[in-house]
Amino acid sequence: MSEQESQQQLTSSSSSSSSSSSASPSHNSNTHHSHPHHNNHHQQQHRQQPPSPLAGPVLTQNNSNDNQALSTITPLSNPRPSKEPYYKRLGTPLNTRPASPYTLNPPIDSDGLSWPSLGARKRIESTEEESKARESRIADAVKVILTELGEDVNREGLLETPERYARAMLFFTKGYEDNIKDVIKRAVFEEDHDEMVIVKDIEIYSLCEHHLVPFFGKVHIGYIPNKKVLGLSKLARLAEMYARRFQVQERLTKQIAIALSEILQPRGVAVVIEATHMCMVSRGVQKTGAITSTSCMLGCFRSQQKTRDEFLTLLGRR
Ligand SMILES: [Zn+2]
């Protein structure tokens, strides 16, 4: 399996989940015109979706919150041949937006900010004063929340809570300030090893971007090298970098897999995450102990059942 092929598979699977938000505007109208007599309800709805890749609501499918167990292994279907650069076809995982929304740089871009958020650079480049000011703005907002919830922000137990919470949130989202270059440094080594490498049970703590409450669990990463290997501790650093942001588990899974695939150009990459979502177990459906599983298989892990099975067996999953 060549790199090219695996990328195309990736693209096709990404576009299958939410292609409508990033497809060109003409796509919808073409569909409409070519079937004038089948103007059914579904197409009507389809046409009303925002055409801009930046404006689209995303992730209408695969929302894990209501699914007890969820797998995103997507079968290979119609890889779309394309001459466009890889990163332009790819978008972000799940096509939530272009690879880097404001520059269209590849995911691993020249300034090293991989999948930066809107304010990532501002945050990174803040002076100490600006950082302090940010912290106190967050704290002020927390006071509003506490007051609105009926609390007395002046009682002893809560006196320093807003500042404490602000610092905690900045820590929980510190992944926005990391970048691939710093994380990987010089830990890519030439090595004539072509057997599967697996690191299991990497702990992650992340924040659900829909409810701003934690989800946490374990990441298992496997890959089959193609003359390049990565220092083992870097796999955990990579997972940490993407986890310390506002996330959905599906995207986190893909980001780790794609980053690894870009860095090493391996024969294949497999990432499985098993996590507990506080928004799921502590409210609403209250399914205590429910675990959400997601996986992303690239290259030979996607194309070869045997390789995938070997990985899952080594994880103790079958
Ligand atoms: Zn949630």
C-alpha distances (whole Å) from 15 to each of 19, 210, 267 are 4, 22, 22
Query: How far away, in angstroms, is 280 Cα from ligand 1 center?
Result: 7
Query: How far away, in angstroms, is 150 Cα from ligand 1 center?
Result: 24
Query: How far away, in angstroms, is 281 Cα from ligand 1 center?
Result: 10
How far apart, in whole angstroms, are the C-alpha atoms of residue 210 and residue 136? 24
DSSP-derived 3-state class of residue 197: strand
Which residues on adjacent β-strands are paired with residue 215? Answer: 206, 277
Query: How far away, in angstroms, is 63 Cα from ligand 1 center?
Result: 9
Would you name the residues annotated as active-site residues?
208-211, 249, 277, 279
How far apart, in whole angstroms, are the C-alpha atoms of residue 300 and residue 195? 12
Query: How far away, in angstroms, is 207 Cα from ligand 1 center?
Result: 8
C-alpha distances (whole Å) from 1 to each of 4, 5, 122 are 8, 6, 40
Element (H, E) at 77: none
Residue 122's pLDDT is what?
Answer: 82
Residue spans of alpha helices (H) in the chain: 3-22, 25-34, 41-47, 86-90, 120-124, 128-148, 161-172, 180-184, 232-243, 249-264, 278-281, 300-303, 305-314
What does DSSP assign to residue 231? -
Query: How far away, in angstroms, is 217 Cα from ligand 1 center?
Result: 14
What is the maximum alpha-carbon separation in the chain? Answer: 69
- Strand 268-277: give its sheet, edge to edge: 246-247, 197-208, 214-224, 268-277, 292-299
Closest to 271 measured CA to CA, from 255, 283, 286 = 255
Whether this model's pTM surpasses 0.85: no
* Per-chain residues with Cβ under 5 A from ion ligand 1: 208, 210-211, 279
Q: Do residues 249 and 205 touch, judged by C-beta distance below 8 A?
A: no
C-alpha distances (whole Å) from 218 to each of 181, 236, 247 are 24, 10, 15
Query: How far away, in angstroms, is 139 Cα from ligand 1 center?
Result: 23
Low-confidence stretches of the chain (pLDDT < 50) are: 1-82, 85-113
Which residues on adjacent β-strands are paired with residue 204? Answer: 217
Q: Do residues 19 and 60 touch, judged by C-beta distance below 8 A?
A: no
